[in-house]
Structure 1
């Protein structure tokens, strides 16, 4: 199916208006109001929930191996989590994961 130029521009315009309205619903409608405490508590957990959802597929099914599980990446993820939990230091956790990944990729 071939779309005409007019159809493509209409789709782009509709998607642009839709994304604008989604952003406006938070910034324009709620921007000058104080949010309830229960909502602020819930919003604190958003990065903690989103980051693992973005990283987990890259660890479990990496594109570098064609979607197959890779022990080096699994070990690097485990080292990153372990160091992060034990030290509560993001930079040390990243460094531990990077060193583990590089070392295991070299050895394996």
Structure 2
């Protein structure tokens, strides 16, 4: 691709992203959404986080896509801390500490 094609793609993607966001914020932003839509929107993070985290745990780039037991154990430990404490900062701290601990122990 030459420079002009790259800029055309960048501008098209930027315009597409703007239009997607504007459809929610600009067109619907001032209206009251139905109760069932608000209830469904509460589940968006719960649906997105596993899709973001699972590939990072099951096939991390650091190991060329191969499953790493240290990362798997750290993910389970982090999940356990999050479920018990219901505290995001505690889960993040426990996840970081457990990842480095398991990487050190399992080499």
Residue equivalent to 2:50: 52
- Tell me the equivalent position of 1:64: 62
Unaligned runs of 5+ in 2: none
For residues 52 and 83 of structure 2, the distance between their equivalents in structure 1, rounded to whole angstroms, comes to 19
Task: Report the Cα distance in structure 1 between the residues aligned to 2:3 and 2:87, rounded to whole angstroms.
Answer: 53
TM-score (norm 1): 0.85
- When the two structures are superposed, what TM-score results if normalisation uses the length of structure 2? 0.86
Alpha-carbon separation, structure 1, partners of 2:3 and 2:68: 44
**Which sections of structure 1, spanning at least 5 residues, go unmatched?**
none
Distance, in Å, in 2 between the alignment partners of 1:9 and 1:94 is 38
Q: 2:77 aligns with which of 68, 76, 79?
A: 79
User: Aligned residues, how many?
Assistant: 106
Shift of 1:84: 0.7
Once superposed, which parts of structure 1, at least 4 consecutive aligned residues long, lie more than 6 Å away? Answer: none
Q: Do structure 1's residue 100 and structure 2's residue 78 form an aligned pair?
A: no
Q: Which residue of 2 aligns with 1:39?
A: 37
Structure (1 or 2) with the larger CA radius of gyration: 1
Residue from 29, 32, 35 that aligns with 2:27: 29
Distance 1:30 1:101, change over 3 A: same
Q: CA RMSD in A?
A: 1.8
Looking at structure 2, the residues matched to 83 and 9 of structure 1 have their Cα atoms a distance apart, in angstroms, of 45
